[in-house]
Structure 1
Amino acid sequence: LLPLLLTIAAAGCWGLGNMVGKAAGRIDMLGFVVWSALIPPIPLLLASLLLDGPGAIPLALSHLTIKGIGSIAFMAYIATLFGFGAWAWLLSRYNTGQVAPFALFVPVAGIAGAALFLGEAITEVEIIGSVLVFGGLLINVFGPRLRRRKPA
């Protein structure tokens, strides 16, 4: 039950963040994302100290690998700065209904990235799911245009 509740809470927080980004309007979204990134480390550090104890942080730092550094760099620069910056920029300029369906592409990109960068095998179910998601996005994006062009 706890993982389900945390997932629902995360979705709610993401929705609230989208509403704040949309309400901010046409501002420098990269700066917006950078400044907003200053807040999460505080509660995360407190949670780590509370749940894992103060010795966990030096232990984790002493076992840091190049793969771990690469993961941190990816999360900081690609996922956060580029991903959230581009997402917030799109939300500030386009109708939410036009942008939101592309969030469904995130798992597909994750599967592709895991295969490309980590050498993970893609299963048949993942391929079928990815094709369905991609097909749904194509219908969502191009369907209204195709319906308008269709002669009566």
Structure 2
Amino acid sequence: MAVRDRLLAVFVAVLWGLNFLAIHATLGQFPPMFAGALRFALIAVPTLLFVPRPRVKLRYLLGYGLGFGTGQFAFLFVAMDLGMPTGLASLVLQSSAPFTVLLGAALLRERISGRQLAGILLAVAGMTAIAWQQAGHAALVPMLLTLLAALSWAFGNLSMRKAEPDNPLHLTLWMSVVPPLPMLALSLGFEGTAGFRSLTTLGTHAGLIGLAGLAYVVLFGTVVGSGVWTTLMRRNPASVVAPFSLLVPVVGLSASFFVLAEVPTLLEIVAAAVVIGGVLLGSLRRKPAAALDEELLPA
């Protein structure tokens, strides 16, 4: 892997790690479900106009959009809105990788190696420790919602695998066409008109910060980050590129510490290291696998 590509991989990890700060800023202005609808609508409109539809079966496109898009971000945004620490959210979401391995074995009859099973057990041990810690701070519900977000991401991964797109980036962009209407319906059902009322205060200080966060999520977190990552996956073996995604929670935890003054406990730091090690051990295979392309895309 060339030095330039290594630097680009680190750059993407930084973009995705900071993405959680941007989500935090976005939720300061918009209700969570409405924020999710906006996020995907801003990508869906230009996608419908300018990006060719990928040649995949409709059911896999819908499955990818509902899993990776609707389910993941509905649960994640609500969890963060209810108090899930920003840095820990970036870490817990990485459990999508071992979830994908388990679901692949259960639903697609994929074999699980001893290394993958050991990694999954390590990640589960780390997540259990974090859940126990969060329960002591009355934040267990946001923790569980974040795990459901990771599980939804894993279901999206299975649809992505079955779709077998010629151009993964086009499928990622077209996936954004699916979530806006379901998330808007969820917003109207659970949040009422609060989302539309939030549009009337965009000129305030909180509104401008929220818009800046939303712009970052759309432009840098999705378009730039996913575009560069897909390019790296095409130029290099997936097993070489994929480990760089484990820098995402490192950046997320560090940024939340410096910007939001979120201070993790010693137990959370140790558990985070265990989770990252488990995800790395459980996700990588001895031979490069194209399926890792979308397994490790971010929030």
TM-score range, shorter chain: 0.5 to 0.7
- What is the CA–CA distance in structure 2 between the aligned matches of 1:18 and 1:90, rounded to whole Å? 19
In structure 2, relative to structure 1, the CA distance for the partners of 1:25 and 1:85 (3 Å cut) is farther
Which structure 2 residues correspond to residues 54-93 of structure 1 after superposition, within 5 A?
Answer: 54=193, 56-64=194-202, 65-86=207-228
Q: 2:249 aligns with which of 104, 107, 129?
A: 107
- What is the CA–CA distance in structure 2 between the aligned matches of 1:75 and 1:68, rounded to whole Å? 11
> Does the Cα contact within 8 Å between 1:29 and 1:88 map onto a contact in 2?
yes
- What is the CA–CA distance in structure 2 between the aligned matches of 1:8 and 1:122, rounded to whole Å? 20
The Cα of 1:38 is off from its aligned counterpart by: 1.3
Give the letter for the 1:81 counterpart. Answer: V
Within the alignment, does 1:41 sit opposite 2:183 as a pair? no
CA RMSD of aligned residues (A): 4.0
- What is the CA–CA distance in structure 1 between the aligned matches of 2:163 and 2:222, rounded to whole Å? 18
> Does the Cα contact within 8 Å between 2:165 and 2:171 map onto a contact in 1?
no
- What is the CA–CA distance in structure 1 between the aligned matches of 2:185 and 2:265, rounded to whole Å? 39
Structure 2 partner of 1:149: none
- What is the CA–CA distance in structure 2 between the aligned matches of 1:32 and 1:23, rounded to whole Å? 12
Structure 2 partner of 1:53: 192
> Does the Cα contact within 8 Å between 2:232 and 2:241 map onto a contact in 1?
no
Runs of at least 5 residues in structure 1 that lack an aligned partner in the other structure? 145-152
The Cα of 1:120 is off from its aligned counterpart by: 3.6
Alignment deviations for residues 4-42 of structure 1 (CA, whole Å, 9 cap, x no partner): 543332112211222333444463233222110111111
Give the letter for the 1:47 counterpart. Answer: L
> Does the Cα contact within 8 Å between 1:30 and 1:85 map onto a contact in 2?
yes
- What is the CA–CA distance in structure 2 between the aligned matches of 1:91 and 1:18, rounded to whole Å? 16
Number of residue-to-residue matches in the alignment:
134
> Does the Cα contact within 8 Å between 2:168 and 2:230 map onto a contact in 1?
yes
Alignment deviations for residues 41-100 of structure 1 (CA, whole Å, 9 cap, x no partner): 11111111111213x12311112222111110111122222344555666777456972x
In structure 2, relative to structure 1, the CA distance for the partners of 1:121 and 1:52 (3 Å cut) is closer
In structure 2, relative to structure 1, the CA distance for the partners of 1:62 and 1:17 (3 Å cut) is same
- What is the CA–CA distance in structure 1 between the aligned matches of 2:188 and 2:240, rounded to whole Å? 40
Structure showing greater Rg: 1
- TM-score, normalized by length of structure 2? 0.35
